Chains A and B, each alone.
Chain A
Amino acid sequence: MISGLLQYEFLQNAFITGIIIGVLAPLLGVFIVVRRMSMIADALSHVALAGIAFSLLLQKSFVSLVGLNPLYMGMAFSVGGSLFIEKLRTIYKHYQELAIPIILSGGIGLSVIFISVADGFNADLYSYLFGSVSAVSRSDLYVIIGVGIAVIVTLILLYKELFLLSFDEEHAKASGIPSKVIHFIFIVLVALVIAASMRVVGILLVSSLMTLPVAASLRFAQGFKQMIGYSVVFGEISVVGGLFLSYELDLAPGGTIVMLAVLILVLAIIIDKWRNR
């Protein structure tokens, strides 16, 4: 494994990406979970899938577009989807969660059409669905590093506003925080991180990396900063451990990463129960 890391560029790409999304996904996940928006990541990842499928279709149809990185189209779709969710949430004020199944099924519907037109599945699409240790290119890595820096800087700058908005939206609005703008920026960040994570974890499993480590930390965190700290540590263990297992056992990393996260969650619940006995 270590020798593989030194030897192969693709492995280095996958691990560095993994380390970055191991921080980003749970970090945003903390805010998503406490705002009870856990399903939003699922909806957006399926929209990102539509973007990927569209990009693969374009590559197949137009030879000149072969060099286009599907990551860009995935991000564009996912950000677009986040805007639609926000719009739908204002249209259905009293049924805000309705936006999520609408966008989710819309995303899958589009993906299915694009995939059918492009004449079915191929190995590339499979790696987008379940992640891959060999799929991350250098150019993917650079985009992901860029996303990582943007997300962390934004979160640091808007931390206190996001905290207040998550804790008590009504109070945030009453005290004159530009809640709509901040919420919007946040959703765009989520969309970007989902698109950035899908190469390694896979589209179908991105959302679990945003929620499972957070669910585990909820069992014992005292305070919000601790919550963030634990979530990132659990996320990081899942991603790095999952990538290692994936490489050694030749399994899709999406599966190993998520199952490690599930294992951590189960342990957290058991330990918490045992402590409070």
Chain B
Amino acid sequence: MEIQDNHPIIKVKNLSYKYTKDKVLEDVSFEVPRGAFLAIVGPNGSGKSTLLKLILGLLRTQEGTIKLFDENIRLFKEWQQIGFVSQKANSFNSGFPATVFEVVQSGLTKKLGLFKFPKKADKQKVKKALEAVDMLSFQHRNIGELSGGQQQRVFIARSLVSEPQLLILDEPTVGVDSKHVHQFYEMLEMLNKQLGITLILVTHDVGTVTDKVTHVACLNKKLHFHGDAYEYNQLNEEELSSFYGHDVKLLSHNH
């Protein structure tokens, strides 16, 4: 697949979605440029998860279109270009008897394809991914023995190992000890800047992210704001409240 550099990685146009009668997403349009670090923020029930599921192809689009790497999502096949890190609590059994290395290697499953076995070079990739998130020294430990933040790093390594161009993170700091949240975001910033991976971060953690990300999108059924992080930081409290429909406390804004 030929990808031109100036084309956006994701193009969402007039997207609406409903599970039953009421729309959870309404007429959402935005683009994610290559190399961006986008934060999608919004309160609970704002349609963030639905939007993610649509982008990941876990839900089928109803109204509107999504283009991934210039390809309509319904025709899109290159899913290994997209890494996904979920809220770990939902989908992971912490008593699972697997080592960190095994977990990260499982990220290669799709890329290797059916009936293929990981080779030496693949094992090297696993180590590189663990190095990128600073977890190589834990490779032989069972995943359940690690702290929430360490586990989340391992899950990021699992996504990195297939060398995606886009990494989507759904509330990745939920299980992370508050002392380490800042460090965690610094690591993400490093992945974005040094490895050039486009990042989408879904969070309700508005305050802490705005100094790390390049773009912000505020979602509450409709897309209320989409722009670069600098513009977002210029917004005042009143405007933000109008996006969310209730008062928002601005944290750690030094402007």
Contacts and interface: CB of A to CB of B under 8 A. Distances in A.
A231 to B, nearest CB: 10
Contact of B140 (A163, A177, A218, A222): A222
B97, B103, B140, most chain A CB atoms within 10 A:
B97
**Chain A binding site: helix, strand, loop or mixed by DSSP?**
helix
Given A36-B93, A167-B92, A170-B91, A176 B79 contact: yes
A83 interface: no
Interface in B138-173: 140-142, 158
Contacts of B98: 163, 167, 223-224
Interface residues of A, number: 29
- Could you say which interface size class chain B belongs to? 20 to 34
Nearest to A30: B97
B110 A163 contact: no
A175 interface: yes
Contacts of B114: 157-158, 161
Interface in B89-133: 90-93, 95-99, 101-103, 105-110, 112, 114-115, 117-118
Nearest to B99: A223
Nearest to A172: B109
B8 to A, nearest CB: 22
A204 B115 CA distance: 35
B49 to A, nearest CB: 12
Interface in A151-189: 157-158, 160-161, 163-164, 166-177
Contacts of B118: 160
B81 to A, nearest CB: 11
A81 to B, nearest CB: 26
Given A160-B106, A167-B92, A223 B84 contact: no
Contact of A157 (B95, B106, B115, B158): B115
Interface in A129-154: none
A176 B140 contact: no
B84 A174 contact: yes
Contact of A174 (B58, B93, B140): B58
A225 B91 contact: no
B97 A164 contact: no
Given A34-B96, A36-B93, A171-B91, A164 B84 contact: no
A160 B91 contact: no
B142 A163 contact: no
A227 interface: yes
Interface in B23-62: 56-58
A37 interface: no
A251 interface: no
A35 to B, nearest CB: 9
Contact of A167 (B58, B84, B101, B106): B106
Given A171-B86, A171-B91, A175-B110, A225 B96 contact: no
A19 interface: no
B56 A174 contact: yes
B109 A164 contact: yes
Interface in B177-223: none
Interface string A180-204: 0000000000000000000000000
A175 B140 contact: no
B65 interface: no
Contacts of B158: 171
Which 10 A-B pairs rank lowest in CB-CB distance, beginning with the nearest?
Answer: A223-B99, A170-B91, A227-B97, A175-B110, A176-B79, A164-B106, A224-B98, A164-B109, A160-B109, A221-B97
30 contacts: A36-B93, A158-B114, A160-B106, A160-B109, A160-B118, A161-B109, A161-B114, A167-B96, A167-B98, A167-B103, A168-B92, A170-B91, A171-B84, A171-B158, A174-B56, A175-B79, A175-B80, A175-B110, A176-B79, A176-B80, A177-B109, A177-B110, A221-B97, A222-B99, A222-B141, A223-B97, A223-B101, A224-B98, A225-B102, A227-B97
Interface of B: 56-58, 79-80, 84, 86, 90-93, 95-99, 101-103, 105-110, 112, 114-115, 117-118, 140-142, 158
